[in-house]
Structures are given as C-alpha cells and as structure tokens.
Amino acid sequence: MRLLRSLCMALSMYMYSGIPVPQVKWEKENMAYAMCFFPVVGLIQGACVLLVLFLCDLLDFSTVLSGALLTLVPLAVTGGIHMDGFCDTVDALSSHAPREKKLAIMKDPNCGAFAVIGFASYLLISFALWHEAALTGASRHVLALVPVLSRALSAFAVVSFKSAKGDGLLATFSGAADVRTVRTVSCLWFAAAVAGMFLCSLTLGGAALLAAGVVFGYYGRMAYSRFGGTTGDLAGWFVTVCELACLGAAVVVEKVGGLL
C-alpha cells in the first residue's frame, strides 16, 4: 500500500492535466518512494506521443498539424508544470543577478519578459523539430522513451544534488526520500529506457543518450555555480531541455544519415 500511495503522489504531483488521480496525504512515508515513480509520468507521456502519431497517420494529417499536436503533448499531460520551471529558470538566468536574487526571481509568481521569450522560442523549436523528424517506426519509439529517460535522470538528481534552499517542493521531496532506493530505481528506469532505445535504433538511441548526458552534465554544473544547488524549477528546466535536446539529436542524426 505504501508503494501505491507513493505512485499516486507522484502522478498527482506531476500530472496537472485534469486526469483523475487518487489523492493521498502528504506524509513522509508516502513521499519516501514517490520519486521512484516519476518516470511513470514519462511512460504516460510517451504513450500519448505514440497515440497522437497513430491518429495522425490514420487521419492522414499533414506534418505541420502533427508537429503542432506533438509539441503540445507534454503540456497536455503534465499541465505545464515542467515548463513553468523552465520559464522561471530562464527569467532567473537572464537577470545575471547575484545568487540570492536569482532564487527570489524563481519564486516570483509573475512572468517576466525573458520567460515569455524563452517559452515562445522553446515551442517554436520543438514544433520545427517534430515537423522535420522522419518519425519512422524506429524513431517514434525512441522518442517515446525520451520522457522516461529524462525523468529517470531528474529523479536521480533530486536525491543526489544539493538543494539550493532548505524549503520548497524539491527540498521537501528530497528530504523525505529513501535516497538509496530512489537512486537504485532511477538507475533501473534509466537502463530500461536506454535498452529500449537501443533495441529500436542503435544510432538514434545513442544520439539521444549523448544529448541527455550533455544536458545532465550542464544542469549539474549550472545548478551549483549559478544557484548553489538545485530547485524544483531547475528540475523542470532540466526535463524540458533534455527532451528538446534528445529530439534535436535524433533529427540531426536522421538528416546526416540521409546525406550519407
């Protein structure tokens, strides 16, 4: 029952989309394993990507409409919770202010100009990449596993990286988590996602893995150097940027392969 409550907590926390999820009490025992189930949200997002692709093929939608729908899938599944973190992080980084001021900017509920620019740029690039992607049987399954990969890395970081502040949602979850278990399960999720990608396409899977690794490395360095550790908003930034980078890497590999 404890694992089931942790699953429900993870889904209710990271699926602000109107999908009915049983609510559980925010108690430490329920939060201990919640991050273990964070990649389940990625599985649901990946399944929605495959469903949208199936319907687009069935209805013979253009690549423009298909690209627009696929761009909106993450927002529809998660209710934009990760994009909110992305926008807050863009605002904070663009301020070039001292560390404490950056953290204060991320807590500000108002949306700054740089957040709007970053949000629009992200959607534009994501749409263009989905439009360019070949989306064959292999590539669509690789890309459907990317949300699992990004969340496995994010969950690992939550319990491994230093928290930039003592309060906040991420600090609450990381403080209540069973660190060893979450790390182990996150690694298993990561290994399963990578194995699935390689089974679909060694080349595309490798490109996505490389892109995710680069973003993860930058995420850790940026979080410590600019903020003194990670926060919930930075975790959201990582998930969104990681998924975009993996999509971009897959498209580039497809294009290069087509030229050879």
40-72 pLDDT, tens digit per residue, is 889 999 999 999 999 999 999 999 999 999 999
Confidence of residue 9 (pLDDT cuts 50, 70, 90): low
Q: How far apart are CA 149 and CA 151, in angstroms?
A: 6
| DSSP 3-state of 163 | strand
Burial of residue 251, with CB atoms counted within 10 A of its CB: 0-12 exposed, 13-18 middle, 19 or more buried:
buried
- DSSP for residue 60: T
Tokens of 118: 């970053």
- Mean pLDDT on 29-35: 69
Closest residue by Cα to residue 5 from 42, 36, 46: 36
Res. 188: pLDDT tops 90: yes
Could you give the percent of the chain with pLDDT greater than 70? 82
CB 91 within 8 A of CB 101: no
Backbone phi, then psi, for 36, in 5-degree steps? Answer: -65, -25
Confidence of residue 134 (pLDDT cuts 50, 70, 90): confident
Tally of residues, the chain: 260
What's the chain's Rg over C-alpha atoms?
18
Confidence of residue 180 (pLDDT cuts 50, 70, 90): confident
- Mean pLDDT on 78-105: 91
| DSSP 3-state of 245 | helix
* Number of structural domains the chain divides into: 1
Res. 184: pLDDT tops 70: yes
Q: Which residues, 6 or more positions from 235, have their beta carbon under 8 angstroms from its beta carbon?
A: 82, 85, 154, 157, 158, 170
Residue 19: the pLDDT is 61
**What does each C-alpha distance from 199 to 46, 191, 224 come to in angstroms?**
16, 12, 35
Could you give the percent of the chain with pLDDT greater than 90? 59
Tokens of 13: 């926390």
Domain encompassing residue 134 = 2-259
CA atoms within 13 Å, Cβ hemisphere of 57:
11
Q: How far apart are CA 106 and CA 111, in angstroms?
A: 10
Tokens of 34: 């919640």
Closest residue by Cα to residue 149 from 252, 31, 13, 241: 241
- DSSP for residue 32: T
Q: How far apart are CA 213 and CA 219, in angstroms?
A: 10
Q: How far apart are CA 44 and CA 82, in angstroms?
A: 15
pLDDT digits (tens, 9 = 90+) for 219-248: 999 999 999 999 989 999 999 999 999 999
Residue 45: the pLDDT is 94
- Bridge partners of 230, per DSSP, are 163
Res. 170: pLDDT tops 70: no
